[in-house]
Amino acid sequence: MKKFINDPADVVAEALAGLAAAHPDDLRVDVSEQYIARADAPRGGKVALVSGGGSGHEPLHGGFVGTGMLDAACPGEVFTSPVPDQILAATKAVDGGAGVVHVVKNYTGDVMNFQLAAELAADEGIAVETVLVDDDVAVENSTWTAGRRGTGATLLVEKIAGARAEEGGKLAEVAAIGREVNTASASFAYALTAGTTPAAGRPGFDLPEDEIEVGVGIHGEPGRRREKLRPARELVRSALDAILEAKPVNDGDQVIVLVNGLGGTPLLELYLVYGEVATVLAERGVRVARRLVGNYVTSLDMAGMSLTVTRVTDEMIRLWDAPVRTPGLRWGA
Amino acid sequence: MKKFINDPADVVAEALAGLAAAHPDDLRVDVSEQYIARADAPRGGKVALVSGGGSGHEPLHGGFVGTGMLDAACPGEVFTSPVPDQILAATKAVDGGAGVVHVVKNYTGDVMNFQLAAELAADEGIAVETVLVDDDVAVENSTWTAGRRGTGATLLVEKIAGARAEEGGKLAEVAAIGREVNTASASFAYALTAGTTPAAGRPGFDLPEDEIEVGVGIHGEPGRRREKLRPARELVRSALDAILEAKPVNDGDQVIVLVNGLGGTPLLELYLVYGEVATVLAERGVRVARRLVGNYVTSLDMAGMSLTVTRVTDEMIRLWDAPVRTPGLRWGA
């Protein structure tokens, strides 16, 4: 294994220290409790958003903390759920009296630990609503999941619900639009190679030189099947078939598209992929209102990419366009 | 080779088409002449900035076209210089009558082709100033270079000179501050693995499982030596030694730091690296005024990273902070 690290056991803590040093004005990092918060939290009267999950998916979630998106993020160890005490500490730190929304990707450990933290927070008088993200339509159940996995749509949920909270939305309203975004979203991913965790020191799975994993998860969980590598235009078409079968989009509907790299795929390829996506969606009469191309919900150094399509209302587009100022996503601020 | 492409010969053209589709409001892509321009170019009375170079370094340069940075970029084929006609076409397309600055990384082909294009532009009555970027202090001459290579500082030159042009700076002023930024900058890179070009289909060089290339170039050019992998804190210290030896920074000086991924290195590692950089610079009394952590000047899927340190004036910081709106770098707009 070759990585820019010191001791594999210290990677997450040291990366957190680096994130804190890199964003001294915007973020406040509690290294002992292991959470990242907006520097101006808690904001009185504002609904707070807290997310988290295993590390290794950066910029998700810590890179999405800031104005217009998350109030706090709880990074677990690499590919490991954050613990309830950590989530509780973050929830208490950013609660401004208007309640807290937990954005939780659907993995068994995450769901259990966020639920426990929500109960503990309720005991302390903090109202918590949970938005579960389960957008990955490749498989119904998976290695660490009952039901569908939460992947790329997490970014859209956090951005759109975060904007609603920033403009003064109430707890129920912020949670409701977050759930609507998840319901309107579908994702599908391909892996060309596996990512390597610092602890294991070798790729999470083996894949022959000419094969790909179709429908891979963001921890390298198996998808639908393996197959021979095909041209990008065919892979895009197959992924969009799966996405639009699971979540149909009607002629004239508007969507936001995320072409997401899983960490080791160059931007040159991601833009090429977006060109293919635009072609296929245009053929089908789907209007792409907004799109984002880059590495946002990653799996360490995995060469791979995911597509997310979210059918959006004008209200969701308005919230998508609202100013956001985070390390990983920024515009209008 | 496993990549998300169709025919290796079509990668750059198809990625350009994807870039155009992804940024319909902000960019205008001329696919036949092969350049990317601001949608609102030419802007009368504004000095225009044009850069370019081989593809494979995305988001550099096409991702830096937009308000407050470049007016146009000319992508060559992967790791291949753009041709003079292409550069001339871009120069003419964005010239607003106030002259054009060419930002050129110091590689023999780029220098020659931009020079020829500048002469052809002059024949047509367009005043061109050239800013040569040669910040990489690892080696004096290299595979495609007489003198030092141009790498990470290109981003700083384009951002700061671009801001000066946006606020109405004259041709000589924009070129002057670009040159000052280059002179004040030094960079040093490490590779853990080689990148793979679509045309070659295999890594550009072989590196044993426990070795790294010290002082690597962004096309995989050899650096100073190979050595065994060491902890990140030691690599950072060695790189900063080389950088500060070449371009001394005095106690109390202010710098902008770029921790740049070469394409295949996860953000988790880059933030860890930034933490080490912050520690070393603090020890030496250097004040980090601004910093940027991410994949900006890449080498396809190379696992590696570079550090750039630029000693900055208050004026440079003011221009760095000015609004920028490009696919690859955006704030305040």
The structural domains of chain B, ordered by start, are 14-184 (3.40.50.10440), 185-321 (3.30.1180.20)
Beta carbons of B4 and A265 less than 8 Å apart: yes
* Residue matched to tokens 């309107």: A184
Residues 6+ apart with CB under 8 A from A173: A164
How many A×B Cβ pairs under 8 Å? 180
Binary contact (A2, B209; C-beta < 8 A): yes
| pLDDT of the residue at B144 | 83
Q: Give chain B as a 3 state SS string.
A: CCCCCCCHHHHHHHHHHHHHHHCCCCEEEECCCCEEEECCCCCCCCCEEEEEEEECCCCCCHHHECECCECEEEEEEECCCCCHHHHHHHHHHHCCCCCEEEEEECCHHHHHHHHHHHHHHHHCCCCEEEEEECCECCCCCECCECCCECCCHHHHHHHHHHHHHHCCCCHHHHHHHHHHHHHCEEEEEEECCCCECCCCCCECCCCCCCEEEECCCCCCCCCCEEEECCCHHHHHHHHHHHHHHHCCCCCCCEEEEEEEECECCCHHHHHHHHHHHHHHHHHCCCEEEEEEEECCCCCCCECEEEEEEEECCHHHHHHHHCCEECCCCEECC
A61 catalytic per annotation: no
pLDDT higher than 90, residue A257 = yes
Contact at CB, B269 and A4, closer than 8 angstroms: yes
Judge contact between B235 and B190, C-beta under 8 A: yes
Q: Buried b vs exposed e over B147-170: b needs ≥16 C-beta within 10 Å?
A: bbbbbbbbbbbbbbbbbbbbeebe
Contact call for residues B63 and A268 (beta carbons, < 8 A): no
Residues of A in contact with B56 (CB under 8 A): 266, 268
At residue A143, the pLDDT reads: 82
- The residue of chain B with its CA nearest to that of A276 is B18
Tokens, residue B58: 């995305």
| Alpha-helical regions (H) of A3-57 | 11-22
- Smallest Cβ distance to A275: which of B21, B58, B275? B21
Q: Which of A18, A59, A233 sits opposite B275 (nearest CB)?
A: A18
Contacts for A134 with CB less than 8 Å, ≥ 6 apart:
A105, A106, A147, A148, A149, A150, A182
User: Pairing state of beta strands A100-105 and A128-133?
Assistant: parallel
Which helix (H) or strand (E) element contains residue A311?
A: strand A304-311
3-state secondary structure of A277: helix
Give the nearest partner residue to B21 out of A11, A22, A278, using CB atoms.
A278
Query: Is the CB of B263 less than 8 angstroms away from the CB of A263?
Result: no
* pLDDT, mean over chain B: 97
- State the Cα torsion A167-A169-A171-A174 to the nearest 10°: -80
Over residues B47-104, the pLDDT tens digits come to 999 999 999 999 999 999 999 999 999 999 999 999 999 999 999 999 999 999 999 9
How confident is the model over B240-277, as pLDDT tens digits?
999 999 999 988 899 999 999 999 999 999 999 999 99
Q: Which residues of B touch A263 (CB under 8 A)?
A: 264, 266
pLDDT number for residue A333:
85
- Parallel/antiparallel/unpaired status of strands A304-311 and A254-261: antiparallel
List the structure tokens of A248.
Answer: 């149909």
Predicted confidence at residue B146, as pLDDT, reads 84
pLDDT in tens, B267-315: 999 999 999 999 999 999 999 999 999 999 999 999 999 999 999 999 9
Rounded to whole angstroms, the Cα distance separating A241 from A214 reads: 13
Ramachandran region of residue A202, left (φ > 0), alpha (ψ -120 to 50) or beta? beta
* Rounded Cα–Cα distance for residues B268 and B272 (Å): 6
Q: How far is CA B205 from CA B36, B199, B209, B305, in A?
A: 31, 14, 13, 17
Q: State the average pLDDT for chain A.
A: 97
Please give the backbone phi and psi of residue A233, each rounded to the nearest 5 degrees, phi first.
-65, -30
**Residues B221-232 as b or e (16 or more Cβ within 10 Å = b):** bbbeebeebeeb
In Å, how far are A200, A215, B244, B268 from B271, measured between CA atoms?
20, 29, 21, 5
Give the angle subtended at the CA of B228 by the CAs of B223 and B231, to the nearest 5°: 100
Residue-wise pLDDT for B134-189, tens only, equals 999 999 888 888 899 999 999 999 999 999 999 999 999 999 999 999 999 999 99
pLDDT tens digits for A263-296? 999 999 999 999 999 999 999 999 999 999 999 9
What distance lies between CA A21 and its chain's CA centroid? 23
What residues in B contact A14, CB-CB < 8 Å? 272, 275
Instruction: Place A251 in a pLDDT band, splitting at 50, 70 and 90.
Output: confident
Q: Kindly indicate the confidence band of residue A259, based on its pLDDT and cuts at 50, 70 and 90.
A: very high
Nearest to A301 by CA among A272, A265, A247, A255: A265
Q: How far apart are CA B229 and CA B213, in angstroms?
A: 9
Query: Considering only CA atoms, which of B315, B309, B318 is closest in space to residue B291?
Result: B309
What is the band of B27 on the pLDDT scale with cuts at 50, 70, 90?
very high
